[in-house]
Structure 1
Amino acid sequence: MDDSFLRTCLFFTSNRLSRAITKIAEEQFASTGLSPMYGYLILLVNGTPGITQKELAEKLSVTPSTLTRFIDKLEGRHLAERKVQGKTVLVYPTEKSKELEVTIRAASRKLKESYSAVLGLDDASKLSDDILASSELLEKR
């Protein structure tokens, strides 16, 4: 059977790319004890103490219910804390999350170095820009 349709299918090729980059990201973030998503979530919370859950969900492109589960886990590990202000839930860093920031930033840097070493810095940057632009267009449909 001819399987060439797989190479021209955005669904298949984007999932293949996602699996490949996820594997590299998990390797680089192993030193943090966190998955890459939790690492980036901590960076956002550390960088914007009191950020709303809604803002975090938008920035990370996840549903509010998924973000709630993420924050639940971070709170369980004493890496974030929530404060309710009226109907708004604000998320704050903890001392423990602040202490992890250097390690998380190093893992993020190593991740970029890893994929840039394979793709080239310019191509990696262009690919990221193209994926972002395409995602935004598809989300608006």
Structure 2
Amino acid sequence: MDESFLHNCLFFTANRLGRAITKMAEEEFAMTGLTPMYGYLIRLVIGTPGIAQKDLSEKLSVTPSTLTRFIDKLENRQLVKREVQGKTVLVYPTDKGKELEQSIRRASKNLHDRYQAILGVDASDRLTVLLETTSEQLEKK
């Protein structure tokens, strides 16, 4: 059976890469008690207290409804809080959320160091840029 289509398909190879890097990220972020996405969300909120929920959704490339569910869970854990100003929902870190900043940064750095050790610094940097620009092109359609 000819399986070459699997190795020549962006959909298949991108998903394979996604699964591999997600597994690594989950292993590195385990020490924080958060998923990688929650960690990056909290990191953005700490870096920009009062960030609009809409802006978070765009920066994390998730739908507004998905982001709402993420924030619901983090709010239930008392790591972030929301404030409504007119039609805008602003997200702030709590003191408990701020306490996680260093472990989130450490997990992120560990992940970065881990894949760079496997791929090499230049290759991982080039791949990151290529994936970013490719994602932007495909999103524009």
Percent identity, aligned pairs only, is 68
| Secondary structure in 2 matching 1:96 | helix
Provide the TM-score with structure 1 as the length reference.
0.99
1:7 is displaced (CA, Å) by 0.4
Equivalent position of 2:140 in the other structure: 140
Shift of 1:122: 1.0
Q: Which 5+ residue runs of structure 2 have no aligned equivalent? A: none
2:66 matched to 1:80? Answer: no
Aligned: 1:70 with 2:47: no
Superposition misfits of 4+ residues, deviation over 4 angstroms = none
1:2 aligns with 2:2: yes
Give the alignment's TM-score, normalised by structure 2. 0.99
For structure 1, the 5+ residue unaligned runs are none
List aligned pairs for 1:15-26, cutoff 5 A. 15-26=15-26
CA offsets 1:48-92 (integer angstroms, 9 cap, x no match): 000000000000000000000000000000000000000100000
Q: Give the structure 1 partner of residue 116 of structure 2.
A: 116
RMSD (Å), alpha carbons: 0.4
| 1:92-141, Cα deviation, whole Å (9 max, x unpaired) | 00001110000000000000011000000111011010000000000001
Secondary structure, counterpart of 2:100 in structure 1 = helix
- What code does the residue aligned with 1:30 have? A
